Structure 1
Amino acid sequence: MKKIAIIGAGVVGATAAYYLSKEEGIELTVFDEGLGQATKAAAGIICPWFSKRRHKAWYRLARMGADFYTRLLADLEADGMETAFYQQSGLILLKKDEAKLQELLAIGQQRRQESPLIGELGIRKRSDDVANLSGFDYYLWASGAARVDGALLVDCLLRSASVSVVKKKVRLGLLDQGRYQIDHQVFDGLILASGAWLGELLEPLGYQVDVSPQKGQLRDYYFAEPHLTDFPLVMPEGELDIIPFANGKLSIGASHENHQGFDLAVDEALLQAFEDEALLYFPKLIDAASKTARVGIRAYTSDFAPFFGEVPGLPQVYAASGLGSSGLTTGPLLGKALSQLVSGHPSLVDPADYPIKNYISQE
């Protein structure tokens, strides 16, 4: 029996746990401190196709990540799990200069050739078909865009895997013969899916880790009548996103704060600014019965690119980090890829395209 530990039960770690639980001969343990997890405070829009980032490897990962949800949903449904965490609600994409919508439409049409998941595309005029929205005349519509509730996704993956999470902060110890110690237990292999906290695990072992924390904040609004189930996603220009969920919940956010460290304090002024902007597009926000705040810490690298693979100098220790605000898009795919590396199967993603050695090095 091969003993494997996963540190971090966000979307990457939970997906890896889910797929490893299907492998014969693996005994699995998952550790997570439970504080500041990016997945549980993620906005949750799956729509990478209009990105103008020039990093081709990043876009390929994001495109494949969006497509991978089709497989993940099928796998979970085959296990008898509910998959309400995911819904293709469609996206209303806005630009202050509405002439730019034509450029984005052309990008979407080109990318739809390799990503049919994009679905129906077109520039539309605001009318009754987008009731309750205001503040714009034209928008770009993409029917294949989806929203994901990160907390529900992680819960579904872990329940299907029948894995309980050891809720504590742990350290990594090196033993002889390529084995590792965590929480007084000995393991043959590890997956480090601790996001922005990856440095805390590897730096005591003499590693330099190019991963920094990015604070993300958003608000959830709750309405007495659950009328938002089929409401589309709204993505204005800037940081603001308006994301409807089932049962009358609407999320507004999220911030991208690169210089707040691991601070988890709620900034009410920042969230109020989001609310004021959102009211321009969705005036009925004022009718919300209640609201709560969420704060999480994302991981980003100096060039804002993700990485994954085997940690240099640590056989059978695999890591992924640097996913930034696209973690819910790329995380499940990378979790699956890490599970394949651990179990010796061909990976859906080539680690050479996202080289870990560029971000983790021995001092």
Structure 2
Amino acid sequence: MKQKKIVIIGAGIVGCSTAYYLSKMGQQNITVIEQGPLFETGGSTSHAPGLVFQLSFSKVLTTLASQTVETFKDLSAEGQPSFYSVGSLEIATTPERLEDLKRKAGVGASWGIEALILSPEECAKKCSLINPDNICGGLYVPSDGVAKPLRAIDKMANFTKSLGAKFYGHTEVTGIDIVDGQVKAVETSAGRFEADLIICCAGFWGPRIGEMAGVTIPLQPMAHQYVFTNDLQELADETEEATAPLIRQQDDAIYFRQVFNRLGIGSYQHRPLPVELSEITKYGEAKEMPSVKPFTPEDFEKPWHDALKLIPALKQTGMKKGINGIFSFTPDGMPLLGESQKVRGFWVAEAIWVTHSAGVGKAMAEWIVNGAPNLDLELCDINRFDTYAQSPTYFKKRSIEQYEKVYDIHHPFMPPETSRDMRVSPYYMRQKTLGAYFSERSGWEQPQWYEANDSLVAKYEKHILKREGWAAQYWSPVIEAEQLHTRQYAGLYDMTATKKRLEISGEGALEFLQKLTTSNIDIPVGHVTDTLMLHELAGIKDRIRVIRTAASTFFVLCTGAVEASWINKQLQASSRVLIQDLTAGICSLGVIGSKTKEIMQPFVSESFTSEGWVLGKAKELFIENVPVLAVYDSYFGTEGWELFTTFDQGLLLWDLLIEAGRPHQLIAAGDRALENLRIESLSSRSGKDFWSEHDPYEVGLYHMVDLNKPAFIGKDTLLVRKAKGPKLLLTTLVLDDPSMVVMGYEPVFHTGKTVGFVTSAGYAYSLGKGVVYALLLPEVVKEGNVLSIEYFGQRHRAKILAQSVVVSQ
């Protein structure tokens, strides 16, 4: 990237980390603006306790935390460490929590973090303050520790200044100048700063900066309790700030860290304490810094009592000081990163804890300079929220729910409770009548299964695999019955929530899509093709479906809002190409199974032969008086149809199909059966089995790449990656134990060493065994190789299937 004028708003740990890494990557014209003093700014960085628990069930968050640890270590000086490597202990006081910690230890192996399950006595040996009598065990991560962000900032700022960056304290942003959708400058109390690119790192003040640019930053400031104890006799001889491991006791939603001779104790146990921006004072206008609200001692009474049970030594001391410190929560608990779709050049790095701060700074710099980060950040992208989720009514409630559940045991199928019924398809009333169990997908109410199909359980009872324990939560045997019934007869699936629906048209639409995708899009009108979009580093941005409906008009199905925003960003301002998001006005139904031809034949005038309607073709037709775009193709190993119509006609289309399918035992079936069918048919899924860190040759999608095309985004880098060979290979495994099913992200072992991790997993009734997709080191991918998968601390044998993963839908 050429030199650009970059203005960073906020000189906390995120803003300084981003400036630091941009400088390391060669950017010299960097200005950092801070409304408070430099560098104890009064934001969340200034009061954060600095606990770094790296390991989570999110790969991206774990990686960002690990990179933060490495950066802070590198920025340490003798006598002034920026990171204390003291390790951490997560304590279980219930059998359920201990099982979850075993699962988490397995994920540690998947993500490359050493994590050990300890007995109560072993926990007490790691930290003698702990009373082992009331605990079931714990999880020990040796590489965790305490961050000192202000020390790290000092060294980052000195380095960045030495390369030409400028820092301005006590400088308040008053406006963002935008011309023709592109940022031009930042207006401040100290004057105007010209900018090609603005990065908002303002923490919980971010929404205010976003408003100035016309960009919604959906986060909710929350107050969080943290206290300092008086000196403990047991720590009287300590001369270092931190030598004892961090402690987290999530069953009571409390955590601990040593501060010389005292302890700092934080609690998530109290009632939610949301804070409005209007309630936050400026620096110098209150006794405490702006990020600290007055302590509410009544909220800490029970947490203190629970802390005494775990650490009896606290009975001899008391609380010296408490604060209600403010930090940010988002609707899905993930950071907000990237360039806004609404305003070119307006970048965001918000809702980030110290735990992930330097990692985020590094990723942001890579993204800005190289056009894409090395780490997949799709789950953090600021553009992941459609307009419905930018409403304060939505994101405030959902963010508060995230706070309340932050220390819960999280199941991958656990649905959110608040801000529901935001988006419903036209079939919603029929689905409720059929007893649909709903979850949410991209804001849509999406049926997981239908209680109306409970009678099918008895019909398929001899075949159904009964799930137990963790796998049986948020599950029903009806899911399995729907899967089996679809294979034998047919299922009607609401596919409205599964994809974004775009129409790309106008002069130059074909050329635009040719540049955007890896395969030839110049297909005949009425034909369908599946292809890939790569970013600048040749990682897979998305796998999309393109239907040519006219000479200069294409109907495009992409995974979601992030991918749709990326497509829009590739469009030049002067282009005559028009991109319309039709998602809110077009609904979709899938008719899938062995009886689909019989169901659809009355509505189709052509035969299903080589002279008639063949797989991979789309036509516009009427189903009675409902106009539909009908795609006839292979869906998860069987023939099927996807039918698109407008919302006003959707309910009638549902009724007509149900009636036509009645003689052929068509049932309405849920999303979970559809996902199981995908896995059984050995079909991988974008965002689930591969993402933007992977190239087509690593995940078996090389048949979607046409290297004879003159150019497409990422082509040159793809050729380099192809020559170097794959780092990982997406591989299909089957479990030896026919009754065994895993859930995803479990580590895979070969000769005792971790060689990869599970992406998707399900049960294949056609094989009578559990099927697993895993990203593995290439050297172990050999047919018949015996591997093992760790599930809740137990290892289960698995073998590599001869077939590679094939993407059909």
TM-based fold match above 0.5: yes
For residues 41-52 of structure 1, the aligned pairs below 5 Å read 41-49=47-55, 51=57
Runs of 4+ in 1 over 6 A off after TM superposition: 360-363
Q: Cα distance 1:146–1:360, how it changes in 2: closer, same or farther (>3 A)?
A: farther
Distance in structure 2 (CA, Å) of the matches to 1:118 and 1:46: 15
- Give CA-to-partner distance per residue, 1:179-223, whole Å, 9 cap, x none: 212322222221101122222112244333322211123123353
1:275 has 2:304 as partner: yes
Contact 1:181 1:187 in 2 (8 A): yes
Q: Cα distance 1:157–1:252, how it changes in 2: closer, same or farther (>3 A)?
A: farther
Q: Partner of 2:210 in structure 1?
A: 202
Distance in structure 2 (CA, Å) of the matches to 1:64 and 1:82: 28
Distance in structure 1 (CA, Å) of the matches to 2:329 and 2:124: 39
Q: Partner of 2:83 in structure 1?
A: 86
Q: Cα distance 1:178–1:104, how it changes in 2: closer, same or farther (>3 A)?
A: closer
1:212 has 2:225 as partner: no
Could you tell me how far 1:272 is from its partner in structure 2?
4.8
Distance in structure 1 (CA, Å) of the matches to 2:208 and 2:14: 18
Local SS of the residue matching 2:257: strand
Contact 2:221 2:276 in 1 (8 A): yes
1:62 has 2:70 as partner: no
| 2:6 alignment partner, one of 4, 9, 13 | 4
Q: Partner of 2:242 in structure 1?
A: 229
Question: Counterpart of 1:208 in structure 2: which amino acid?
Answer: T
Contact 1:222 1:289 in 2 (8 A): yes
Q: Partner of 2:185 in structure 1?
A: 180
- Give CA-to-partner distance per residue, 1:201-258, whole Å, 9 cap, x none: 122443333222111231233538352732122211232101114x334211044735
Q: Cα distance 1:287–1:6, how it changes in 2: closer, same or farther (>3 A)?
A: farther
Q: Partner of 1:192 in structure 2?
A: 200
Q: Partner of 2:46 in structure 1?
A: 40
Local SS of the residue matching 2:344: coil
Alpha carbon RMSD of aligned pairs, Å? 3.2
Q: Cα distance 1:280–1:289, how it changes in 2: closer, same or farther (>3 A)?
A: closer
Q: Cα distance 1:151–1:75, how it changes in 2: closer, same or farther (>3 A)?
A: closer
For residues 1-363 of structure 1, the aligned pairs below 5 Å read 2-34=4-36, 37-49=43-55, 51=57, 59-73=58-72, 75-76=74-75, 84-98=81-95, 100-108=97-105, 110-125=106-121, 127=124, 130-134=127-131, 136-142=134-140, 143-162=142-161, 164-176=167-179, 178-183=183-188, 184=191, 185-221=193-229, 223=231, 225=236, 227=238, 229-236=242-249, 237-245=251-259, 247-255=260-268, 257-262=272-277, 264-285=293-314, 291-323=320-352, 327-344=353-370, 346-359=372-385
Q: Cα distance 1:120–1:36, how it changes in 2: closer, same or farther (>3 A)?
A: same
Distance in structure 2 (CA, Å) of the matches to 1:215 and 1:315: 33
- Give CA-to-partner distance per residue, 1:297-347, whole Å, 9 cap, x none: 222222333221102232222102234xxx122222112122223334642
Contact 1:16 1:338 in 2 (8 A): yes
Q: Partner of 1:56 in structure 2?
A: none
Could you tell me how far 1:150 is from its partner in structure 2?
3.9
Local SS of the residue matching 1:33: coil
- Of stretches 131-140 and 312-321 in structure 1, the one that deviates more from structure 2 is 131-140
Q: Cα distance 1:352–1:104, how it changes in 2: closer, same or farther (>3 A)?
A: closer
Distance in structure 1 (CA, Å) of the matches to 2:341 and 2:359: 22
Q: Could you say which structure has the larger radius of gyration? A: 2
Distance in structure 1 (CA, Å) of the matches to 2:124 and 2:78: 38
Distance in structure 2 (CA, Å) of the matches to 1:302 and 1:50: 18
Distance in structure 2 (CA, Å) of the matches to 1:159 and 1:282: 41
- Give CA-to-partner distance per residue, 1:270-300, whole Å, 9 cap, x none: 3454333322222333555983334432222
Distance in structure 1 (CA, Å) of the matches to 2:42 and 2:253: 20
Distance in structure 1 (CA, Å) of the matches to 2:54 and 2:117: 14
Distance in structure 1 (CA, Å) of the matches to 2:88 and 2:204: 29
- Give CA-to-partner distance per residue, 1:23-76, whole Å, 9 cap, x none: 44522222233465223333433225355xxxxxxx122110222135314542
Distance in structure 2 (CA, Å) of the matches to 1:343 and 1:155: 24
Q: Which runs of 5+ in 1 are unaligned?
A: 52-58
Question: Counterpart of 1:62 in structure 2: which amino acid?
Answer: L
- Of stretches 171-180 and 313-322 in structure 1, the one that deviates more from structure 2 is 171-180
Distance in structure 2 (CA, Å) of the matches to 1:217 and 1:91: 20
Contact 1:73 1:83 in 2 (8 A): no
Distance in structure 1 (CA, Å) of the matches to 2:31 and 2:237: 38
Q: Cα distance 1:32–1:303, how it changes in 2: closer, same or farther (>3 A)?
A: same
Question: Counterpart of 2:329 in structure 1: which amino acid?
Answer: Y
Contact 1:67 1:115 in 2 (8 A): no
Question: Counterpart of 1:38 in structure 2: which amino acid?
Answer: S
Local SS of the residue matching 1:12: helix
Distance in structure 2 (CA, Å) of the matches to 1:290 and 1:137: 24
- Give CA-to-partner distance per residue, 1:87-111, whole Å, 9 cap, x none: 2322232233146314422431x22
Could you tell me how far 1:81 is from its partner in structure 2?
7.5
Q: TM-score of the superposition, structure 1-length normalised?
A: 0.81
| Identical counterparts, % of pairs | 19
Contact 2:199 2:347 in 1 (8 A): yes
Q: Cα distance 1:352–1:128, how it changes in 2: closer, same or farther (>3 A)?
A: closer
Question: Counterpart of 1:158 in structure 2: which amino acid?
Answer: A
Contact 2:53 2:145 in 1 (8 A): yes
Distance in structure 2 (CA, Å) of the matches to 1:171 and 1:22: 30
Distance in structure 1 (CA, Å) of the matches to 2:112 and 2:176: 46
Question: Counterpart of 2:331 in structure 1: which amino acid?
Answer: S
Question: Counterpart of 1:173 in structure 2: which amino acid?
Answer: I
Question: Counterpart of 2:111 in structure 1: which amino acid?
Answer: S
Local SS of the residue matching 2:333: coil
Distance in structure 2 (CA, Å) of the matches to 1:349 and 1:132: 39
Q: Which runs of 5+ in 2 are unaligned?
A: 280-292, 392-809
Question: Counterpart of 1:248 in structure 2: which amino acid?
Answer: N
Q: Cα distance 1:343–1:251, how it changes in 2: closer, same or farther (>3 A)?
A: same
- Of stretches 270-279 and 329-338 in structure 1, the one that deviates more from structure 2 is 270-279
- Of stretches 82-91 and 210-219 in structure 1, the one that deviates more from structure 2 is 82-91
Q: TM-score of the superposition, structure 2-length normalised?
A: 0.39
Question: Counterpart of 2:187 in structure 1: which amino acid?
Answer: I
Distance in structure 2 (CA, Å) of the matches to 1:74 and 1:129: 22
Local SS of the residue matching 1:112: helix
Distance in structure 2 (CA, Å) of the matches to 1:151 and 1:238: 30
Q: Cα distance 1:105–1:20, how it changes in 2: closer, same or farther (>3 A)?
A: same
Distance in structure 2 (CA, Å) of the matches to 1:340 and 1:187: 19
